[in-house]
Amino acid sequence: MYIIPAIDVLDKKVVRLREGNYDDVTHYEISLEEQIEKYHANGTEIVHIIDLNGAKGDFSNQQYLFEVLKKTDMKVQYGGGVRSIEKVKELVDAGVYRVIVGTQAISNPSFLEELSALNEGRVKYADHVVVAIDVLDEVIKYSGWLESSPIKLIEYIDKCLALGFYRFLCTDISKDGKLGGAGVELYKKLLDHSPIIKLIASGGISSMKDIQALQDLQHVESVVVGKAIYENRISIDEIKDWNLKALIKF
């Protein structure tokens, strides 16, 4: 299991939101370029970037993000307002390693079907897609966690798998931003149902003990860690050591 550091960007600044609330923002005194380089210099190969402006339909950050990406060899897992086939294609063609889709995949039944068939030369875009599933009490939430989907969690997983999407970013909303521990019970349920999925856990990580709890589940591919790093509960050296061991085992 690999640790993926998270960077949330709002108005070109590195921030964190509590439970997705734009009125509850913590700003960090480090630039996106500096934060990426800090991780890269310590052996991290992939970083998780969320464009919080993009999540609201404002893509004023995007050109800035593209310019930053051109300056690094870091692989980027990117999310924030990706609600069209064209946007997925634009991001992958710009060099984004993985594109996260969430709201559109839930609210538009044909979106994943169209995306699953999108190929260009050797590029199969579905291989670069991560399906985001934000969950509160086993209910899938979308549109900034304001709307609830009628589709059952397990049914949605099965639908995505049938279309060729196998990598999922699952966030336990009740845990996110609170540093209270990961949603181990939720992830166990998903993996018991379908151990073949590539599961990326997100939300609530407060310590390396929480990382180990996810590791003990087995079959969790990776975990996104954000606030615990900025709050100095998990050090970059600890991430470096963990990821090095993970790569050796892999």
Active-site amino acid positions: 8, 134
User: Using CA atoms, how far apart are residues 214 and 222, in angstroms rounded to an integer?
Assistant: 9
Q: Are 223 and 21 in contact (CB under 8 A)?
A: no
Bridge-partner residues for 5, per DSSP?
A: 225
- What single letter denotes the amino acid at residue 241? D
Q: Are 78 and 49 in contact (CB under 8 A)?
A: yes
Q: Are 114 and 85 in contact (CB under 8 A)?
A: yes
Bridge-partner residues for 77, per DSSP?
A: 48, 98
